[in-house]
A and B are shown apart, each in its own frame.
Chain A
Amino acid sequence: MTAFEPVIGLEIHVQLATRTKMFCGCELVFGDPPNTHTCPVCLGMPGTLPVVNAEAIRLGLMIGEAFGGELAERLVFHRKSYFYPDLPKGYQISQFDEPLVSGGRLGDVGLERVHVEEDAAKLTHAGASGRIGGSTSSVVDYNRGGTPLAEIVTLPEIRSAEQASSWLRLLRETLRQLGVSDVNMEEGSLRCDANISIRPVGDTTLGTKTELKNMNSFRFIEQGINAEVARQIRVVESGERVQQETLHFDPRTGSITSLRSKEGSHDYRYFPEPDLPPVQVPAELLESARASIPELPLQRAERFRTELGLHEESARLLAFRRALGDYFEATVAAGGPEADRQQIANWIGNDLVRRLDAGEDTDPDPAESKVEPASLAELVALVGAKTINRKAGEKVLDVLVAEGGTPGPIVEREGLAAIGGGDELRPVVQAALDANPDAVEKLKTGNMKPIGAIVGHVMRETKGRADGGEVTRLTREILGL
């Protein structure tokens, strides 16, 4: 049987973090009562005209600059026509053949383009309206209508649902760190559609694609893409053809339904927006956009890896969560040149994060905990020097998280200092060997399995302050292994 591979491209709509709308001065406030942030312009009242919000363009340029795309010299808008109540003018002002940004790349996925446009309003189903016939109605709230959006379109370079969702996480974090958007999926400030096709592995042509709309969480994106890929494979294997259509994934049932194309026609009749003649992108906007690009997650990960010697995985973990990355850098600074950076990374990325975790979707910020970077640096140094063992270190961290303070006094107070090397520990190991003659016999034959029993014995005797490695070393030494 033929094996298929998915070919996936993403289209992401990101609400830009401006104060006001794309083409009018209405303020953008999430969650206010419906229709309290509208004006004649964003209600599409007759005779009103759009004027471009410069900040939206600056933020769009920042995205392009961050991704290494080619920035447009001219700002050109088109009208995209269709009728829907959430679209007050009967057309969306968007960009067409001259997007703000062409090309670019983020991580393992290339970008086709980034363009700016205005968002639609919100349509709420209102149920039975009480009108004659009991027909149902919807209510339109134009507060969101006209919000500036950046539409980011990737090349069809994604090969799995998992890749799509992890790339999207990287995108979200990058945009967040750029400061161009709140990228909040629940509030709809980041929305993702996927173009999906399949082809026999090894084939280079593109199959007929379907467009899966509006998946509003990372989990749904994975589920949705997987479900659609499976559906397409079933279609092809049953000898039929995939139809080009727009689909909706229902996360509750896992089912995929076709959104009947409105009136069977998708002729958007793009043409140059005559209310917005083309204009040169102002040089000061371009300069300002270029000057406001911070170090981005991928660059930071690269620096963590090459300059600070972190493993790939740790580097990404810390760089992709700005709070962790910042805390890591503060701890490294506090630890001085001798600090073991990989160990610091491990302690932050595993032990500390686990102790701070507030919930599934909230990223903890260690800077807001009671653990000072200097204290953590000291703790890591104590463990590194075997002044305390790792277990004891974890206990110290528990206390630091709960109470703050510095590791020294905690080690003292809790009696956690490690039993020192040979002199102090040798008698204890000797006693353990004496108490376990069977184990000793096996050890002598080269079977190291029973070493656990010896270590356990020593730990019991020392209340866990011994170093397991040191116990093993002394055992070998005593038995002449």
Chain B
Amino acid sequence: MTDPISLSVVDAAAALRRGELSQDELFTAYRDRAAADDTNSFTWLADDATTALGAREGLPGTDTPLAGVPLAVKDLFCITGVPTASASNLLRGYLPPYTATAIDRLQEAGATVLGKTNQDEFAMGSSNENSAFGPVLNPWDRTRVPGGSSGGSAAAVAAGLAPAAIGTDTGGSVRQPAALCGVVGLKPTYGSVSRYGMIAFASSLDQAGPITRNVADAALLFRQMTGPADRNDATSIGWAGDGGSGSASAIDLPTAVRLDGVRIGVPTDLLGEGIEPGVRASFDAALKLAESLGAEIVEVTLPHARHALSAYYLLAPAEASSNLARFDGVRYGNRADIGDGGLVELYTKTRHDGFGPEVKRRIMLGTYALSSGFYDAYYRRAQQVRTKIVEDFRAVHQDVHLIATPTSPTVAWGLGERTDDPIAMYQADVTTLPQSLAGVPAISIPCGLSDGLPVGLQLSGPAFAEQSLLDAAHALEGALGFDGTAAFDPARGAGAATPGSATTGGASR
């Protein structure tokens, strides 16, 4: 029979349901690969399918939608009794007594947890180099970053260490690593997936989403993660659906192969300087392909989108500075050795020793933006910019169904290349931030290679347009013919042997 590793989530679930494959067999196949991982994608691996059941009694049956498909889960999702650190030394060893709603729903739907994936500490970063567990290597080229913050999740899927992974996206943290690793990443509409049990970075922006080999898998996982509003999360409203049905099953697995009648806007404001020529070329080719499938491509403007970066890097750190105040070494997590020190030392040393440099930088930035005398100039102003960006998107969607941009202005860059330059690092999110601030759904699909490295195409739509987004992405994906398994093995893929020279496997036609 076929190698279980080659099966997509949709296909593996079908095989499990038909009894052609056992849950244990599938789990073990991935467990073995993940254990031999050389990309540092995992922070923790389950021994077997029953290790990370959370508060559940037993394994899911195969009569469930996911039928026992193992998933890699970003470290910041709390699972009862499973080490959950958000890749921070401060939380290393933390065992939560509760499970995140999104993971609980996936488990309810039959998924098992293969392991926790590496990430930037507290989801702050675009390269996965800000992790207490060390950087993740890009499976396409192990001298390069996988993107971030869900770098481990994207790398694990790209390297075939898991059939799919769950990440979180605050300013691009699902889409950008998916793009840099040549896989699919969906950031759903803000509020459609519960944030309960997801260790918060920026509450008004964080959203969980699937990272998969293909668009249909993303649709299936999204369908199981969303659903009715979570009573434990006041920002959870479930998936209202294109028709506003609010029912989880309203998401259909995409089957579209054409884009007839779909108007796609290309925001000229986001395609200025900073987009690598190779990325631009892949992107343009993909747009041509979309046109050939019947889509209409029009230029649109998002006049405030270029201010998204400024607004985001004030708002997100402001919220983060507050969300991370709870890490004080009192109720959980690791307390610094303070000797005879008092309360002040308990806080300042614990936080000094526990947080990495980027986290400290953002706490400082956020505290500053909220502090007396600066609130109006920074925090409040950034919120006003958010208002303008929301209005920009509304206006554009009067005219077009979807918006297309490159997901990332560049392909994966070399490890360490930007670590000393926060601004260069922040620029990595320039095309994903506007959608985050507007709270709208967006998906990244691989659209080709540049210098042998994957390029991502981002499609976004108005709130709750996931179905249209998935349908369009699916049609385009079929035409692009990108091989989602290209980087599975160093020997087969490009990276390890000759860094930067990937040519086999992936194809941008």
Contact = CB atoms under 8 A, between A and B. Distances in A.
Interface stretch (A86-94, A154-162, A351-359): A86-94
Interface in A458-479: none
A45 to B, nearest CB: 6
A216 B318 CA distance: 37
A49 B232 contact: yes
- Among A40, A85, A135, A271, the most chain B Cβ lie within 10 Å of the Cβ of A271
Given A46-B200, A48-B197, A88-B331, A79 B322 contact: yes
Given A132-B339, A271-B375, A51 B326 contact: no
Given A45-B331, A45-B332, A46-B200, A90 B325 contact: yes
B330 interface: yes
A49 B233 contact: yes
Contacts of A89: 325-326
A275 B195 CA distance: 9
Interface string B309-340: 00000000011011011111011100000011
B326 A135 contact: no
Given A40-B97, A46-B91, A51 B231 contact: yes
Nearest to B204: A274
Contacts of B78: 45-47
Interface in B67-103: 76-78, 84, 86, 91, 94, 96-98, 100
Contacts of A140: 330
B196 A48 contact: yes
Contact of B370 (A51, A85, A88, A271): A271
B199 interface: yes
Nearest to B333: A46
Given A49-B233, A269-B371, A81 B199 contact: no
14 contacts: A41-B232, A45-B97, A45-B331, A46-B200, A47-B76, A47-B78, A47-B100, A47-B199, A85-B328, A88-B326, A89-B326, A90-B328, A269-B375, A275-B203
A276 interface: yes
Nearest to B330: A85
A133 B340 contact: yes
A107 B96 CA distance: 51
A76 B332 CA distance: 30
Interface residues of B, number: 49
The 9 A-B residue pairs whose C-beta atoms are closest, nearest first, are: A90-B325, A274-B203, A274-B204, A269-B370, A133-B340, A46-B199, A47-B197, A44-B326, A47-B199
A43 B326 CA distance: 9
B86 A83 contact: no
Interface of A: 40-41, 43-52, 79, 81, 83, 85, 88-91, 132-133, 135, 140, 263, 267, 269, 271, 274-277, 279
Contacts of B371: 267, 269
A146 to B, nearest CB: 13
B413 interface: no
A50 B235 CA distance: 10
A135 B340 contact: yes
A277 B84 CA distance: 27
- Among A43, A45, A47, A83, the most chain B Cβ lie within 10 Å of the Cβ of A47
B453 interface: no
- Among B76, B203, B339, B379, the most chain A Cβ lie within 10 Å of the Cβ of B203
Contacts of B9: none
A47 B196 contact: yes
B491 interface: no
A45 B77 CA distance: 12
Given A263-B344, A276-B235, 5 more contacts: A46-B94, A89-B325, A90-B322, A91-B322, A274-B203
A6 B375 CA distance: 35
B324 to A, nearest CB: 8
